[in-house]
Amino acid sequence: MELDTQVTRAAGTSVGQAQYWKRFKKQKTLHLFVGLGMIFLLIFAYTPMFGILMAFKNYSISMGIKGIFTSDWVGLKHFDEFVNDYQFGTIVRNTLVLSFLKVIFAFPAPILLAILLNEVKSLRYKRFVQTISYLPHFISWVVVVGIAFAFLSTDVGMVNKALLGLGLIDKPLDILTNPDYFWGLAVGSAVWKEMGWWTIIFLAAIAGINPSLYEAAQIDGAGRLARIRHITFPGMKGTIVVVLILTIGSILGGGLVGSNFEQAFLFGNSINNPTSEIVQTYAFKVGLRDGRFSYAAAIDLVQSVISVVLIFSSNYIAKRTSGSSLF
């Protein structure tokens, strides 16, 4: 009896393996693409993580790649130096304020735009607005800064010229250099650039809602706002939660509306530095300008650890409160 059972198991395993390899050969093209993606991640995402060792060592660029492993250990020296740096409070404040302002203003913007576009009856107008809104996503931040200079510069900016011509201001507004304007400039340009792109995600979520729900609600006498509140918004809840988790996880880097670093580096200057200097630009400067790669690695590692904690925490909270989560 026992022998028959073993034979049956062996035969079942053999058949299962044969079916597996048959399916694998049938899907070999798909596996090839997956394999290329895994190789890409291995080379460009996981292999560079060996550089984390620099944060705990006294590394110099003259040591080469080998120096990452052979340089002297210094423990938490660079972390302690960063926390006690005289600029620590300022750059952490700037990073957090800029990041949270983007969450407050940039996260709801594509949701609102998606709901408004869904209510538009003219298909041609809807497609036109959607196309115009997501085109800025494909413009690099270098070009965006050039556009901002053309519009907002005190010398040649069209906005200042128009305001002066209308007599609304007595002298040009120094929007690009005044520290008081930087956060508004960064958040506003980020919303303009990325709002339309993320609207596509939320429009896809709305498209998955059963149209019969709207028909039934309309028959019951529900108005447009009631249908949005009780059908459209709940139907988007799962997508909203997932995007919110991803946003919080990358909040220190800029969230869903792009890189804080690129904005701070390109819009920043010596005059608005009190509000434009953030953790990423500070690490970039001390790493490349001063050649302190170990110190810069320690700063970036602190930011990465905080981001990991945020994404796990937000996922846990979302799962407990709404039942939707990323993982």
Walk along the chain (327 residues) in steps of 10 and give the mean pLDDT of each run.
52 65 84 90 87 88 84 90 90 89 88 90 87 90 91 85 85 88 91 90 90 86 86 88 82 74 89 91 88 89 84 80 71
Neighbours of 20 (CB within 10 A): 10
Q: What is the pLDDT of residue 267?
A: 92
Contact partners, residue 184, CB within 8 Å, separation at least 6: none
Q: What is the pLDDT of residue 1?
A: 52
Q: What is the pLDDT of residue 287?
A: 87
Q: What is the pLDDT of residue 48?
A: 84
Where does residue 184 fall: left (phi above 0), alpha (psi -120 to 50 degrees), or beta otherwise?
alpha
HSE (side-chain half, CA atoms, 13 Å) at 179: 10
Q: What is the pLDDT of residue 111?
A: 92
Nearest to 322, CA basis, from 227, 209, 243: 243
Q: What is the pLDDT of residue 237?
A: 86
Q: What is the pLDDT of residue 5?
A: 54
Q: What is the pLDDT of residue 274?
A: 92
